[in-house]
Amino acid sequence: MAKETTKKATAENNDNQDVMPFGKQNYIIVLIGIALIALGFILMIGGGSTDPDVFNEKMFNFQRLTLAPILVLAGFVVEIVAIFWKGKNK
């Protein structure tokens, strides 16, 4: 009786080890999130001045002050969704 229970538990454990935690959809969503984060940081680049005595208004435009941080936060939200996403069971 004990041997049958042990064999059944061992077989179930071996079946569970073959299952990947994330599917193809999860990795695609992760890549989309990484792209959004990277795009947000790229949009934050620039706006400075080569001369320290000259003030450049481009530093405070919509792209750097509003759009880029929203894209970065959206990228992190997409990453969380990618972790919790459960695809259709086959």
- pLDDT digit string, tens, across residues 47-63: 777 888 888 888 889 99
Q: Report pLDDT for 47.
A: 75
Packing angle of the helix pair 68-84, 24-44 (nearest 10 deg)? 170
Q: How many domains does the chain have?
A: 1
In a domain, 7, yes or no: no
Mean pLDDT, range 2-16, rounded to an integer:
58
Mean pLDDT, range 13-26, rounded to an integer:
77
Mean pLDDT, range 64-79, rounded to an integer:
97
In a domain, 16, yes or no: no
In a domain, 76, yes or no: yes
Q: Which pLDDT band holds residue 84 (cuts at 50, 70, 90)?
A: very high
In a domain, 41, yes or no: yes
In a domain, 28, yes or no: yes
pLDDT in tens, 23-54: 999 999 999 999 999 999 999 998 777 888 88
Q: Under a CB-based contact definition with an 8 Å cutoff, are residues 85 and 29 in contact?
A: yes
Q: Mean of the per-residue pLDDT values for the chain?
A: 84
Q: Report pLDDT for 41.
A: 96
Cα(82)–Cα(74) distance, integer angstroms? 12
Q: E-assigned strands of 2-90?
A: none
Give the residue numbers spanning the domain of 39: 22-84
In a domain, 6, yes or no: no
